[in-house]
Chains A and B, each alone.
Chain A
Amino acid sequence: MLSDKQRREVLDELEHYPTKQAACIEALKIVQKHDRWVSDEAIQEVADLIGMSAAELDSVATFFNLIFRRPVGRHVILLCDSASCWLMGCNKIRAQLVDRLGIDYGQTTDDNRFTLLPMACLGTCDRAPAMMIDEQLHQDLTAESLDKILKATE
């Protein structure tokens, strides 16, 4: 169920666009901000709220990389695997994440702390390899800095 707060935020978003449908991605992001992912029930409720069919809204939701249609952990690690980060050693970072967390791309740790996903270029290729955890960007990753970051992210 959408909370009153979510519902209000979605309705606020509608003000910024000439059609209701235009606000649908923002609406999904609002749901996700509170729930971390977008459930089938949430798709139906948002669809009703902005007058789209649930199927159409789902087709939009699944198109975008950052709308999660499955549950994710408390923190989502988005590791850049594009060309510059590849040249600068993102595979080593991935291997270290697999080793430390016991999960690979698309998986969530048993304690629900982390989900690991590959991500296209984060626009910081001069400071590669790079990743984002939730909204925080981490650049110039090394084996040492990665361990520190993981430790600091409860």
Chain B
Amino acid sequence: MEQPLTSNIDSKRGPLDLQGYEKAGGYAAARKVLTQMTPGEVTELVKKADLKGRGGAGFSAGLKWSFVPMGDDAPHPKYLVCNADEMEPGTFKDRVLMEGDPHQLIEAMIIVAYAIQAEVGFIFLRWAYKVSERRLRLAIQEARAAGYLGENIHDSGFSFDLNIHSSAGRYMCGEETGLLNALEGRRATPRAKPPFPQISGLWGKPTIVQNVETLCNVPHIINHGAEWFQGLGKTDESGTKLYGVSGRVKRPGCWELPMGTTIRELIEEHAGGMQDGHAFRGVLPGGASTDFLVEQHLDVPMDYGSIQKAGSRMGTGTMIVLDDQHCPVAMSVNLQVFFARESCGWCTPCRDGLPWIVQLLQSIEDGEGKASDLELLSMHTKYLGPGHTFCALAPGAMEPLQSALKYFKSDFERHVTEKKCPWN
């Protein structure tokens, strides 16, 4: 089984240094791109490989780059931003890549910067990732000393330098345009689109924002080609995926596996099944902002299309498993508290609606709910859904709630009729 993104990662030792990375074949893709390919060829290749965004939305990476203005008239400087904010509850995959193989991310950013002809890069890094920060800073120094970053990289005429911004924590900083505002030293509220960041992003200049894992695929696509990449998946979708499992399973963790590995295989084989005394009840397949799936969906392949057909989303591909010893209503309270706290307050449905939902859910959990409250909750999942808010935070918050109301309906009803939480 091929595991291109994690083949250099060995948790028993630190990450490869520059020499080790080069010895393992590293920076060959960057050299090839800078000396033998045009920017347009790089973009076309990645488009053909069908590399979809691994940060949540699943948009084609190559297609996004093709919207960046190119040629002599294009505004400069252009920017490439790596989204390493990773704050979605249940998600810990980008950390694995940055701590485990920092040079892979740097090489990827050189290649993508070349494809869009960006001269400045930022890694927008989650403040909590102290180890990632140390290792990335060291790797950037090494890369700069070896001439992979800076002016006129390896005599190609192309210049690119890379900075780390370590932020000060807020889920909204992961939202593409909120992130751009945060980088400019503003509150991380989102921006109206259009104009899209590809045209007018950081300081009004063309900007591409891409997730860590998305980027890390790029050197391998350059080295092995689009067909190879397409062949990695188990289904008709391309590549490998970093999948994660957390919750009451025997061996929580993160693994690089073929795209389209089933939920059952992830939970039962890789995560070792449920802990003794805990039975499976449901799963948020792609982090906190994705719809619950249940027993009947265990054989769904984890690819973008299949999960969507089952009624949820790939999201980040890192799942949270709910077991029978935990109350689905209490878990819903926990999730909505997170979203309410992290709302940026820009638009009314989200700013006022989420705290209201938390209160209502908490009263149901406390045994003080009425039957009509469930109806009310259900209506509000629509009012805060797509199309009513400025960004995807509130609609994302509604995904686990609307699906909990559907699949755990009888649990909600028992709280109302028994006037207490059956788990307490």
What is the interface of chain A, defined by CB distance below 8 A to chain B? 16-19, 21-26, 28-29, 52, 59-60, 63-67, 81-84, 86-88, 119-128, 132, 135, 137
CA distance in complex: A81, B88 (Å): 12
The answer to whether B364 has its CB under 8 Å from any CB of chain A is no
CA distance in complex: A52, B187 (Å): 14
The answer to whether B298 has its CB under 8 Å from any CB of chain A is no
Closest to B253 in A: A126
Closest to A28 in B: B168
Instruction: Give every chain B residue within 8 A of A63 (Cβ-Cβ).
Output: 170, 187-188, 344
Decide if A135 touches B89 in the complex (CB within 8 Å): no
> Which of B90-98, B102-110, B260-268, B371-379 lies on the face that meets chain A?
B90-98
Instruction: Give every chain A residue within 8 A of B254 (Cβ-Cβ).
Output: 126
Decide if B184 touches A22 in the complex (CB within 8 Å): yes
Decide if A121 touches B87 in the complex (CB within 8 Å): yes
Decide if B167 touches A25 in the complex (CB within 8 Å): yes
Instruction: Give every chain A residue within 8 A of B203 (Cβ-Cβ).
Output: 18-19
Q: Given A82-B338, A83-B320, A126-B253, A120 and B171 touching (CB < 8 A)?
A: yes
CA distance in complex: A135, B245 (Å): 26
Instruction: Give every chain B residue within 8 A of A16 (Cβ-Cβ).
Output: 163
Decide if A87 touches B168 in the complex (CB within 8 Å): no
> Which of B40-48, B121-129, B135-143, B402-410 lies on the face that meets chain A?
B121-129
Give the Cβ gap from A87 to chain B, nearest Cβ, in Å. Answer: 5
Q: Given A64-B169, A82-B334, A123-B126, A88 and B248 touching (CB < 8 A)?
A: yes
The answer to whether B130 has its CB under 8 Å from any CB of chain A is yes
Decide if B129 touches A83 in the complex (CB within 8 Å): no
Decide if A83 touches B331 in the complex (CB within 8 Å): yes
Decide if A19 touches B338 in the complex (CB within 8 Å): no
CA distance in complex: A60, B187 (Å): 5
CA distance in complex: A118, B161 (Å): 36
Closest to A125 in B: B246
One of A23, A66, A127, A128 near B169 (C-beta < 8 A): A66
Instruction: Give every chain B residue within 8 A of A25 (Cβ-Cβ).
Output: 167-168, 182, 185
Instruction: Give every chain B residue within 8 A of A60 (Cβ-Cβ).
Output: 185-187
One of A21, A24, A29, A123 near B87 (C-beta < 8 A): A123
Give the interface centre of B127, B163, B182, B185 by most chain A CB atoms within 10 Å.
B185
Instruction: Give every chain B residue within 8 A of A125 (Cβ-Cβ).
Output: 89-92, 244, 246, 252, 318, 320
One of A21, A67, A82 near B186 (C-beta < 8 A): A21
Decide if B184 touches A128 in the complex (CB within 8 Å): no
The 5 closest A-B pairs by CB, nearest first: A82-B89, A64-B168, A125-B246, A65-B169, A126-B252
Interface residues of B in 50-108 (CB under 8 A from A): 86-92, 94-95
The answer to whether B335 has its CB under 8 Å from any CB of chain A is yes
CA distance in complex: A126, B91 (Å): 9
Give the Cβ gap from A82 to chain B, nearest Cβ, in Å. Answer: 4
Instruction: Give every chain B residue within 8 A of A21 (Cβ-Cβ).
Output: 184-186
The answer to whether B307 has its CB under 8 Å from any CB of chain A is no
The answer to whether B284 has its CB under 8 Å from any CB of chain A is yes
CA distance in complex: A137, B92 (Å): 14
Closest to A63 in B: B187
Give the Cβ gap from B164 to chain A, nearest Cβ, in Å. Answer: 9
Decide if A81 touches B334 in the complex (CB within 8 Å): yes
CA distance in complex: A44, B189 (Å): 23
Instruction: Give every chain B residue within 8 A of A19 (Cβ-Cβ).
Output: 184-185, 203
Q: Given A63-B170, A125-B318, A120 and B185 touching (CB < 8 A)?
A: no
Decide if A23 touches B185 in the complex (CB within 8 Å): yes
CA distance in complex: A122, B128 (Å): 7
Closest to A60 in B: B187
Give the Cβ gap from B169 to chain A, nearest Cβ, in Å. Answer: 4
The answer to whether B323 has its CB under 8 Å from any CB of chain A is yes
